[in-house]
Every structure is written in structure tokens, then in C-alpha cells.
Structure 1
């Protein structure tokens, strides 16, 4: 279980996260939604310690981190062994084939032997529908294919949590669908996922829990049905705007 408690983060004197307290359960999918610039990505990146809040606590099972006291390199590595980030721009190594992109971490970081890492990589490529792309280079892939490789690369590290920051925002609808199907399958398999997305139809399908974030604060956290059926006027306005239901 991951838990943030009274977490604050500033950028240039502006509070990006304001007294954030929330829990991310094992084997569940938590989806962060809200307006652009609301703090969703900052919160996600804080879970992987790519951002360092100035105050508050971060609990990861028995590990307790106090941002005010500072986080050691050892603690950072401990968190990152269990959390994998998937970015919207894929971050694949352009000079490596798809297969080598996937086995790079397991071989060099986890110290797996190359043969078992390669076998696992082929299994993961089959899982994400790219069994025929092992020898391709990233520039030979579509955006949707590249993102599916990025997801396979994350899975190869056997993380407890996969953190996804707008994983389909750069894709057209058909390519987006390829990626969303993979994520939906992972959610069904109870892989712990934390996803920032603007795609509310996907959020409604995949989420166990929704966090609605605005101005660095969590305005709602709870089951997806409670969110999508909320009587809260701010949430209703947000849902109407994102689904264009008030366009007429």
C-alpha cells in the first residue's frame, strides 16, 4: 500500500500540491482526473520520487519517508524498485531494438541472466500484442506500438505499482485504443495501476478509485460510480465539459 499524508509541493512559490492525503491500494487501479495543471502529474511523480515535496510523509508498506527531513539515495532506490513510470512520450532507447529495450533493466538493474530475461520479454511482447516487433527499432513503431513496448518494459521489472502519466495523450483514437485495451487487461489481472488521464470513458471502465484533483487539492476520492454519479456541482461541470454534453 502507498500512502501520502499532508504532502505539500511548491513550484516557483506556487503550491502545486496542498496538504495531500490519500491511499493507493494494492491490486487496484486508481485514476487521477482533473483540469490541466491541477497537480495530477506532480502527485504521480512524487510517488516515484521524481518530484520531491517539501513536507509531508510517504508510506510504502513498512517504509516511512519524511519529505521535510529529506530522502536518502537508498530510500529512493527502494521505492523505485517497486514503482515503474510510463510517460506519454515513451522514453524508449532509440539505439536499441524493442527486445533489448525490454531486457535492459532486468539484466543490468535486477541482475537477471540474459536468457531468462529474453524469454520473459517475448512473453510480455505477446501479452501486449507485439510478438512480431522484437527486432524492430523504436523509430519503426507507431506511437501506440511504442507505448505498448514501454508498458512491457515496465512489466519486465516486476513492479508492485505501475504509474502512468497521460499514457495516450499523444495518440490518435485508434492507436489510443490499442494501449487502453492493454491497460484494461492489466487492471483485470489486478496489477496495481495509478493512471493520470483525461479520457473519462476509459477512467469509468478501468478505475476502482477516482481522485479528482484541482488547484493542487483532492476534491474527491472514492469509488468511480460515486464520482460519475456525483451531485457535486463542480464535478458535474467538469464531467459535462470533458464529455461535451453541454455543447448544444
Structure 2
């Protein structure tokens, strides 16, 4: 189980995270939503130590990391070996083929032999619908295809959790749908995921748990059905705005 307690993070005079506490259950998908600038991306980036809160505690199973103290590189690398981050911008290696992109982590970090890494990479590319793209290079892919390769690359590392920060925000609707279908399939296989997204229809389908963040604070933390049926007017207004319900 991954959870955080009393996280605080500031940027200048802005409180990006204000005493945030949340748990992210294993084998479930937690979706984080909120308006722009609410702190949701800061929260998910803090889970991978891409942002460093000034205080709070980070718990990963029986590990307790006190964020008010200096966190050494060994601890950070230990967390990162158990997790994977998927960004908006794919971050594929342009000089490597699609297959090599998926193989690189298992070979370099997990110390798998090339044959084993290649076999699994082919399986994962088939899983995300890109078996025929194994030998092409990232510049030859659409945005949706590149993001699906990034997801396959993350799965190749066998992470306990995958963090996804607005993974489809740069894509047009058709390409976005390609990626969302893959993520829904992975969620159904009970891969632990934490997703920041703007897509409410996707969130409603994929989430086991919803977290709503505004002004650096969590205003809702609970089951997906409760979120979409809430009588909290702020959340009702947010959902309406994001789904163009009242246009």
C-alpha cells in the first residue's frame, strides 16, 4: 500500500500542497482530478520524487520516509524501482527502435538478457496494439502510438504502481481513445495505477477511487460512484464544466 500523510509543498508564496493525506490502494486505479493549478500534478510528481514536499510522510508498505528530512538517493531510487511514471510527452529514446525502447529498462536496470527482454517486449507491444511497429522509430509514430509505447515500456519494468500525469492531454480525441482503451485494459488486470486526467468519462470507467484536489487541498477522497453522484456543489459544478453538461 502506498500512502502519504500531511504533505506540504510551496512554490514561492503559493501553497501547491496543503497538508494533504491520501492512500492509494494496491490493485486498484486511483484517479486524481481538479481544476488547472489545483495541485494534482504536484501530488503525483511527489509520489515519484520529481517534486520534493517540504514536510510530510511517504509510506510504501512498511517503509516510512520523513520528507522534512533529507531523502538520500538510495531511498529515492528504491521507490523509483518499484514505480513507473508516464508523462504527457512520451520521453521515448529517438535513436532506439520501438522494440529497443521497451527492452532498454529491463536490460539496463533489471539485468535481463536480451533474448528474454525482446520476447517480453514483443508481448507487451502486442498487448498495446503495436506489434507491427516493433522495428520503427519514435519519429514515425503518431502521438497515440508513442504514448502506448511509453505504457508498454513502463509495464516491462513490472512496477508495483504506475503513475500517469495527464497521459492523453496532448492528443486529439481519436488518438486519446486508443490510449484510454489500453489503460482500461490494464486497470481491469488489476495493475495498481494513479492517474491524473481531465477526461471525466474515462475517469468514471477506469477509477476505483476518486480524489478531487483544489487549492492544494483534497475536497473529495472516495469511491467513484459517490464522486459522480455527490451533492457537493463545487464538485457538481466541476463535473458539469468538464463534461459541458450545462452548455
- After TM superposition, is the score higher than 0.5? yes
Mapping of residues 34-113 of structure 1, within 5 Å: 34-113=34-113
Match of 1:89, SS state, is: coil
Q: TM-score, normalised by structure 1?
A: 0.99
Q: Please tell me whether residue 237 in structure 1 is matched to residue 241 in structure 2.
A: no
Provide the rounded CA distance (Å) in 1 between the counterparts of 2:244 and 2:144.
25
Provide the rounded CA distance (Å) in 2 between the counterparts of 1:67 and 1:165.
22
Match of 1:81, SS state, is: helix
Q: TM-score, normalised by structure 2?
A: 0.99
Provide the rounded CA distance (Å) in 2 between the counterparts of 1:245 and 1:148.
30
Instruction: Provide the residue aligned with 1:150 in structure 2.
Output: 150
Question: Could you tell me how far 1:13 is from its partner in structure 2?
Answer: 2.4
Question: Could you tell me how far 1:110 is from its partner in structure 2?
Answer: 1.1
Q: Please tell me whether residue 3 in structure 1 is matched to residue 26 in structure 2.
A: no
- Is there any run of 5+ residues in structure 2 with no aligned partner, and where? none
Count of paired positions: 247
Match of 2:159, SS state, is: coil
Provide the rounded CA distance (Å) in 2 between the counterparts of 1:135 and 1:50.
31
Provide the rounded CA distance (Å) in 1 between the counterparts of 2:168 and 2:242.
16
Q: Please tell me whether residue 177 in structure 1 is matched to residue 183 in structure 2.
A: no
Question: Could you tell me how far 1:246 is from its partner in structure 2?
Answer: 1.3
Provide the rounded CA distance (Å) in 2 between the counterparts of 1:17 and 1:137.
39
Match of 2:111, SS state, is: coil
Mapping of residues 92-241 of structure 1, within 5 Å: 92-241=92-241
Q: Kindly provide the CA deviation profile for residues 69-88 of structure 1, in whole angstroms up to 9, marking residues without a partner as x.
A: 12111100110011100001
Provide the rounded CA distance (Å) in 2 between the counterparts of 1:213 and 1:160.
24
Provide the rounded CA distance (Å) in 2 between the counterparts of 1:15 and 1:57.
17
CA RMSD of aligned residues (A): 0.6
Provide the rounded CA distance (Å) in 1 between the counterparts of 2:177 and 2:229.
25
Structure 1 range deviating more: 11-20 or 25-34: 11-20
Provide the rounded CA distance (Å) in 1 between the counterparts of 2:200 and 2:20.
23
Match of 2:89, SS state, is: coil
Q: Kindly provide the CA deviation profile for residues 147-200 of structure 1, in whole angstroms up to 9, marking residues without a partner as x.
A: 000000000000000000000001111110100000000010000010000000
Provide the rounded CA distance (Å) in 1 between the counterparts of 2:51 and 2:110.
24
Provide the rounded CA distance (Å) in 1 between the counterparts of 2:234 and 2:172.
29
Question: Could you tell me how far 1:245 is from its partner in structure 2?
Answer: 1.3
